[in-house]
Structure 1
């Protein structure tokens, strides 16, 4: 087959233009990945006209199909199409930098003032995490489990991850629901239209897919073969890479994957983990920047600024590789019924995984009395019924946590 490098529009923009556009969004795009995609459409389809509505919709479909942070992957592809490979990097840096800096500074505050982690304000952040994860579970269940077969897959995944709470239990749940979906679900693939092709050759795509798989196999083997100190660092990097590689269904699903990596090993306490997760809701940009917070406060050889930067890069790297790997083949993949069925099963499974995480560690670590439950219920109502901005809800939770 001829090596194709078809593209819809030539990269005729500048790297600086891409960086400034995404930096503005990184400073203002609150509300999670679905909201981010809405901001992107307004900015790049309606206002700047970098792509047309049809091309943008197809790109969104691709990135929602792939594992990884969908909004960040859409941004990478838009930067690639506008200003080439440096444009891709500029889009990622601009969109990611503000929240990564904010969470890094918050992590240093937690590390410097140990009493802060025991304060009522931090307890409020743990409680708001209950409301936010519950909102994510409800929203994802409605869209990803619309029928009883997928609801059953979600329940099976939840049960499996409750019994086997390790990272391998979560991987097994994803694999099981994908296989059951491929075998038993009937999904009608989309028809008509042409996929949006970017300047990525099939050879480069294949190389990216192979490179994507290397750390998933190589890092565990490397960690097992090295000494204790090195093994701790490699295990941390492997767990964060695996989390970035296996996240389907939205950024909130990264919570149980990262928790299984850093909390049981003692690298991050459960209290600090949930405090950081709550704080991550108050900043704009991608939720994956939570990894920068974990890298700063982790106990072990890898910590501080270096740890934050290392984990931030590690969690986004598989999203970049899988995007580049699949772009040249998307036209054929997204029309295959078996692929659609398997992905529908995986998406149902991640609802169950997130539901399991809602109970443990989120609920068990934050809700200790009736007042905690009442506050969580109020915050959940503000998010789901009142449609209050997440940043405002987090602020209210912090203030309320001081009083209870």
Structure 2
């Protein structure tokens, strides 16, 4: 892989300090950013734009829109691309590791804990308030994002249509269709965009071929050897190469493959892990660590850790390779007015997808007055108090232990 990672020149002390400050900011977000990509975007705007001024709000929204139309974890690709922008590929890989590590460690420990709980018949009812709280987080994040990106009647129409389509056709493959359609709709209004001088395209294909090569090699070798860790890597690498739109889209894909089809996990184990990942800061794709670990529960602790590592590498690598490939010529691509105009529609459609996900998550709990109360209280506390989100989560867990 070294051939694809150009060596940076010696880093000046001031630049090194800047990189360390950036990685510290990433670690703070990794430990406090609950609630999925929409919440992550709001926190990135607050820390990276308003506080540190690494880039402008428009640049971050552009970058996030680009990552939404690529397969892979949206917030992870966004923050990795930001590391690339600030310090090149080496800083980008460090950014990925710092961003993912806390949640991966938590979900790895969760997998070990669930296995222990299962062996000792201990109740998991203490997580009962967490799912409605996660819905509250999602609703607030969608509302805050909509306030930033919904600017006119066309955006309102696109967001509304996106809600209806995504709700009527609850398939993970509808996400890229909705996003591309939204971008296509606003691309026609390109004349409103400022004319920029175009630069010739210089596409470097190395990371694209790396993405394809790893996929083919893992599938081939895994089929021949039938070694479970390699097969897990291929399974998650394939899912990471196909999923658009974040963890809420990945969840049904993983459920169908690892519960319904392969029976690596029971339904209860899967849902318990899903509840835990809702209270875990950082990328929701760390759910893969939990699934990979329990998929190798019969191979001892070392085998479980190997399964978790294989799943983690598989789910995060494809999106990283793809954003490295596209970001290198993104500055040239966005000089075209139609491309910049399409980002407005993509952002509007994204708010609709967020609303649809919130409706889907809320509907099963709408008849439970306790869950509805928790959702409403979470929304009110997030909007009208200064209580940090992670403290709300801790309070929810504590209340679950008490009740």
Same fold per superposition (TM over 0.5): yes
Partner of 1:316: 316
Segments of 5+ residues of structure 1 without an aligned counterpart are: 1-8, 46-50, 163-168, 248-252
Which residue in 1 is equivalent to 2:172?
Answer: 170
Q: Which residue, out of 40, 50, 53, partners 2:48?
A: 40
| 2:374 is equivalent to residue 395 of structure 1 | no
Corresponding residue for residue 62 of structure 2: 61
Correspondence for 1:259 among 252, 274, 280: 252
For residues 10 and 74 of structure 2, the distance between their equivalents in structure 1, rounded to whole angstroms, comes to 22
The residue number in structure 2 matching 1:98 is 102
1:301-312 to structure 2, matched below 5 A, reads 304-312=304-312
Q: CA 1:371/1:402 → structure 2, altered by over 3 Å: closer, same or farther?
A: farther
Deviations 1:160-195 (A, max 9, x none): 433xxxxxx322342255136414665557537899
Instruction: Encode CA deviations 1:107-152: one digit per residue, 9 max, x unaligned.
Output: 2212211278843212122232222233334334444555332124
Which of these residues, 131, 152, 161, is aligned with residue 153 of structure 1?
A: 161
Residues 96 and 286, structure 1, Cα contact 8 Å, conserved in 2: yes
Are the aligned partners of 1:95 and 1:285 in contact in 2 as well (CA < 8 Å)?
yes
TM-score (norm 2): 0.71
- Equivalent position of 1:124 in the other structure: 129
Greater shift, 338-347 or 228-237, is seen at 228-237
Question: 2:90 matched to 1:86?
Answer: yes
- What SS does the aligned partner of 2:129 have? helix
Question: Are the aligned partners of 1:103 and 1:292 in contact in 2 as well (CA < 8 Å)?
Answer: yes
Cα separation, partners in 2 of 1:41 and 1:272, compared to 1, 3 Å: farther
Tell me, yes or no, if the aligned pair for 1:79 and 1:91 is still in contact at 8 Å: yes
* 1:226-264 deviation digits (Å, cap 9, x = unpaired): 989787764444223323xx23xxxxx322323332356
Equivalent in the alignment of 2:37: none
Q: How does 1:136-285 map to 2 (within 5 A)?
A: 136-146=141-151, 147-162=155-170, 169-179=171-181, 181-183=183-185, 186-188=188-190, 191=194, 202-204=202-204, 206-212=205-211, 234-243=234-243, 246-247=244-245, 253-263=246-256, 265-266=258-259, 267-269=264-266, 271-273=268-270, 275-280=272-277, 282-285=279-282
- What residue number does 1:250 align with? none
Cα separation, partners in 2 of 1:177 and 1:295, compared to 1, 3 Å: same
Higher alpha-carbon deviation: 291-300 or 223-232:
223-232
Q: Which residue does 1:135 correspond to in 2? A: 140
In the alignment, the residues of structure 1 paired with residue 393 and residue 344 of structure 2 have an alpha-carbon distance, to the nearest angstrom, of 32
Task: Indicate if the aligned counterparts of 1:135 and 1:383 stay in contact, CA closer than 8 A.
Answer: yes
Q: Secondary structure at the match of 1:400?
A: helix
Superposition deviation, residue 13 in structure 1? 4.7
In 1: Cα distance, 2:248 partner to 2:367 partner? 21
Please give the per-residue CA displacement for 1:266-318, whole angstroms capped at 9, x wherever unaligned.
Answer: 14455545544554454544444343333333478998322322232233223
Gaps of 5+ in 2: 1-7, 34-39
- In structure 1, what is the Cα distance between the partners aligned to 2:349 and 2:43? 23
How far apart, CA to CA, are the structure 1 residues paired with 2:193 and 2:9? 27
Instruction: Tell me the distance in 2 between the aligned counterparts of 1:389 and 1:74.
Output: 23
Residues 286, 111 of structure 1: alpha-carbon distance in 2 compared, 3 angstrom cutoff:
same
> What is the DSSP-based 3-state SS (H/G/I as helix, E as strand, rest coil) of the residue aligned with 2:392?
helix
CA distance in 1, matches of 2:342, 2:123: 44
Whether the aligned pair in 2 keeps the contact of 1:190 and 1:334 (CA below 8 Å) is no
Indicate conservation of the 8 Å contact 2:65/2:343, yes or no.
no
Distance 1:358 1:299 in 2: 33
Q: CA deviation at 1:159?
A: 3.3
The TM-score normalised by the length of structure 1 is 0.71
Q: Secondary structure at the match of 1:66?
A: helix
SS of 2:328's equivalent?
Answer: helix
Closer, same or farther: CA 228–358 of 1 in aligned 2, 3 Å = farther
